[in-house]
């Protein structure tokens, strides 16, 4: 399908229009204590939400990580907060995404090497610099039918979001160039 016919189908059938379901921001430190607290404060400042601490699943002696030790902080953003965050972060990557960043279901991920590249965030030598992973889930309305516990049903093949449709939606919504 061409871009014009896809956009026309979205206008005629609102259930086909994709939307950003959630944005997960992961800041992995690799150790607990003071560095994790600093990462917690940085992520809270950037997103405006209180992060959740994630624990190590298993011990890795070479890295000094014990099972159950908190090593990362994560924030999940939904609805308008997710879109606002993405609009704030996209200039850091020059409003460009690689086509290989999209998976088979239309979701995509990107990484930032330094959190201080985000507009409005200033460098603090006491805090340091953190990198972060950003995972974006793009879906159509009605996808919950597939994942719910009660009476879950398969989604028809025509309703499954393709990477091409997701790319078109992201281009329109965020003004991003796909390379």
For 132-146, how does the pLDDT look when each residue is reduced to its tens digit (9 = 90+)? 889 999 998 888 888
- Reported residue count of the chain is 179
Distance (Å, whole) CA 88 – CA 95: 10
Helix (H) or strand (E) holding 107, with range, is none
> Considering the domain 17-178, what is its CATH architecture?
2-Layer Sandwich (3.30)
Query: Structural domain boundaries of the chain?
Result: 17-178
Find out whether 99 and 86 touch, Cβ atoms under 8 Å: no
CA neighbor of 23 nearest in space, from 130, 132, 116: 132
For 43-62, how does the pLDDT look when each residue is reduced to its tens digit (9 = 90+)? 888 888 899 988 788 787 77
For 60-103, how does the pLDDT look when each residue is reduced to its tens digit (9 = 90+)? 777 777 887 888 899 999 999 999 998 888 888 888 888 888 88
Distance (Å, whole) CA 24 – CA 179: 23
């Amino acid at each position: 399908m061409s871009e014009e016919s896809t956009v026309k189908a979205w206008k005629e059938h609102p259930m086909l229009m994709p939307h950003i379901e959630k944005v997960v921001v992961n800041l992995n430190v690799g150790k607990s204590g003071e560095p994790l607290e600093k990462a917690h404060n940085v992520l809270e400042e950037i997103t405006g939400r209180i992060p959740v601490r994630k624990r190590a699943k298993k011990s890795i002696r070479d890295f000094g990580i014990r099972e159950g030790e908190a090593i990362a902080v994560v924030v999940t953003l939904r609805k308008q907060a997710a879109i606002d965050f993405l609009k704030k972060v996209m200039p850091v990557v020059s409003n460009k995404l690689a086509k290989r960043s999209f998976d088979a279901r239309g979701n995509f991920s990107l990484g930032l090497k330094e959190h201080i590249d985000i507009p409005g965030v200033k460098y603090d030598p006491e805090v340091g610099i953190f990198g972060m992973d950003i995972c974006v889930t793009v879906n159509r309305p009605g996808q919950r039918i597939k994942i719910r516990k009660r009476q879950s049903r398969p989604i028809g093949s025509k309703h499954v979001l393709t990477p091409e449709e997701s790319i078109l939606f992201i281009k329109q919504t965020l003004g991003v160039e796909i390379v």
